[in-house]
Structure 1
Amino acid sequence: MTAADGGRPRHEPVAGAPGPDAGAAGAAASTDARPEAGPIAILPEAHEARGAHEAFRDAVVAGGGRVAPLSAATRGLIWTSSSGEGGLESVLAEHPSISWVQLPWAGVDAFAGLLRRHRGDGRVWTSAKGAYAQPVAEHALALALAVLREFPRRVRADSWEVDERGRSLYGSEVVIVGAGGIAVELLRLLEPFRVRATVVRRADAAVPGAARTVTTDRLADVLGTAEIAFVVAALTDETRGLIGADELAAMPLGAVLVNVARGGLVDTDALLDALESGRLGGAGLDVTDPEPLPPGHPLWNAPNCLVTPHVADTEAMTAPLFASRIMANVAAFVGRSAFEGRVDLDAGY
């Protein structure tokens, strides 16, 4: 698996899956016709040089499957590259008998066009959604604490500055936009801080650990109480720009925004305006729009803004987690269980 770009694994849908919204996906997996089982290929071949590849092969065997080179007999495909659609599209075109595809990341927006083109072809598509929740939630918490304590400014200081700036997370009003695996794990991490957490999601259903759950049409309303807002939603056509000027203006003076999902969920210009005006108290960003964030971009020096380069989950963290997802879905592929992280081709995640 590569760790280079926007195909990185961290984007949980507003509706949430797995966790609170896993039921619908699980029901679909149990009632739909199973894909035809058979040999499984792990591609691209160039990734065989990586130590992780052997772990993926072992995971296939542990799940009850058989790894074999790509051929006319191939029925399962584990795709390990985040490079987007091109190579995978070619493989599928040349091997129409492939009945199950495992994608490498939780977010599938890098493959959005391909998924649209393959709707209705009978293949089962699974992603890693939920698999990487722990490291991403951990990074989100780290960003929040750093921004609340004004670390972006303090780490650049070259003299002793005595001031009273900095806030505590304890007892804060928190809004989490998204209800998938990252949100669920983040709620667990926030428990010791005794926060009051509101989760915003598409579905009208409670999330364990949240004081309240509301639907996305109430986003601006609940942001009005948010001392800290975490963005952990999937990027789709519907959620692009979800946090814009109106939403940022709704937040209390001095509030903090943390985004560990996709940069496109937040309007960058509106974010810059809110930071530079002082209305927003700070931002912690592991994802940006554009991405990579170019040298000299205003976000690098925006007030109390901490940018990390899409590293909430490094390959060392994700490889064993992806291997576990492979093992589980190979077991489903051979008929032993239900698929995990099944992609909803209609919803786009």
Structure 2
Amino acid sequence: MSVRVAVEPDCWRRPVLAEAVARGGGTVCTPDEASALVWAEPTQAHLIGELVDANPGIEWVQLPYAGIEPVVDIVTARPAVEWYCGKGVYAEPVAEHALMLALAGMRGMATYARASDWAGPEGRNLLGASVTVLGGGGITESLLRLLEPFGCDVTVVRNRPTTMSGAARVVGPDELSQVLPCTDVLFLALALTPDTAGIIGSAELAALPDHAWIVNVARGGHIVTEDLVEALQAGQIGGAALDVTDPEPLPDGHPLWSLPNCLITPHIGNTPEMGLVLLAERVTANVALRVAGAPLVGPVYLDLGY
């Protein structure tokens, strides 16, 4: 099967993604000649619908996003087009970042990095810790592999409670309240949907042990920020290590910036430079699959929210 692919818009990512199309056996062309579109600029999601509408020959679109929040309305309005996102593409660097945040938080880096004198000892081991992971996708799969040498007792909370390699147990969301009281580290690695927005609020924070750390590499909207601030200020939990926040970017002067038990990185679990190589691999794979007439990887499921 011949696959003609437009790579748009013109930006610094375009040459790499165009090469990825060619490696998959596709032909790079202009949008009016294309049967497929690879979207190259994540910051210009608002232009995708306009380009697709202007070029009715486009049958499927490869999006650069792992989550579909930026394009839900665009995808919903165009059901005749096949949409594929970057779910799983960025899992390994994000999982690596999550592990780093957990270690930094538990070992007191938020305090030591701000210290201006020789501080006293603090910290807990990740070794042998009780870990709970919310979400059962690619980030969780990668994180479980990274956690193996630490000998953690891992519980995964996901919609489909089927076994996962590296997890001692997998439970459904209705059992979250039962696992939180014995959790040393809580990782958030799930998609943001109406069902998961605010999944961690005052009740969940109160259920955690007072030494527990929360690591969020998913979306800031999973945590009720006001409740988190109160819990951190009161010493209700050990701390929070956040690569994502709500709101995002976190405003100057927000209480989270100054809390000694809060560690923040500016949504860099996957940087543009890291992500481009990984997205290119997905583009090559999906173009090759379409050439072969096989199902593509990463279809968007609007009913599930990812």
Q: What band does the TM-score fall into relative to the shorter chain?
A: over 0.9
Match of 1:8 in 2: none
Match of 2:26 in 1: 65
Alignment of 1:151 with 2:116, yes or no, is: no
**8 A Cα contact 2:205 2:228, kept in partner:** yes
**8 A Cα contact 2:72 2:302, kept in partner:** no
Match of 1:25 in 2: none
Give the direction of change, closer, same or farther, for the CA distance of 1:215–1:259 in structure 2 (3 Å limit): same
**8 A Cα contact 2:17 2:40, kept in partner:** no
Match of 2:297 in 1: 340
Q: 1:106 aligns with which of 42, 59, 66?
A: 66
Q: 2:9 aligns with which of 44, 51, 62?
A: 44
In the alignment, residue 128 of structure 1 is paired with which amino acid?
A: G
Q: 1:225 aligns with which of 182, 188, 194?
A: 182
Match of 2:98 in 1: 140
Q: 2:128 aligns with which of 157, 171, 174?
A: 171
Q: 1:321 aligns with which of 278, 282, 301?
A: 278
**8 A Cα contact 1:235 1:265, kept in partner:** yes
The alignment's C-alpha RMSD in Å is 1.4
Which residues of structure 1 form unaligned runs of 5+? 1-35
Alignment of 1:291 with 2:248, yes or no, is: yes
Alignment of 1:306 with 2:267, yes or no, is: no
Give the direction of change, closer, same or farther, for the CA distance of 1:347–1:84 in structure 2 (3 Å limit): farther
In the alignment, residue 205 of structure 2 is paired with which amino acid?
A: L
Q: Deviations over 1:222-278 (max 9, x none)?
A: 112110000000011221111111111111112100000110111101111111110
Moved more, 84-93 or 201-210: 84-93
Match of 1:32 in 2: none
> For residues 44 and 124 of structure 2, what CA distance do their matches in structure 1 show?
41
Q: 2:212 aligns with which of 255, 264, 268?
A: 255
Which residues of structure 2 form unaligned runs of 5+? none
Return the structure number with greater relative CO, CA threshold 8 A, min gap 6. 1
> For residues 63 and 191 of structure 2, what CA distance do their matches in structure 1 show?
15
> For residues 96 and 347 of structure 1, what CA distance do their matches in structure 2 show?
27
> For residues 294 and 28 of structure 2, what CA distance do their matches in structure 1 show?
19
SS at match of 2:144: helix
> For residues 100 and 45 of structure 2, what CA distance do their matches in structure 1 show?
33
Q: 1:76 aligns with which of 36, 41, 48?
A: 36
Match of 1:3 in 2: none
TM-superposed CA distance for 1:162, in Å, is 2.5
Describe how 1:85-124 pairs up with structure 2 within 5 A. Answer: 85-119=45-79, 121=80, 123-124=81-82
**8 A Cα contact 1:79 1:102, kept in partner:** yes
> For residues 281 and 134 of structure 2, what CA distance do their matches in structure 1 show?
27
Identity of aligned residues (%): 44
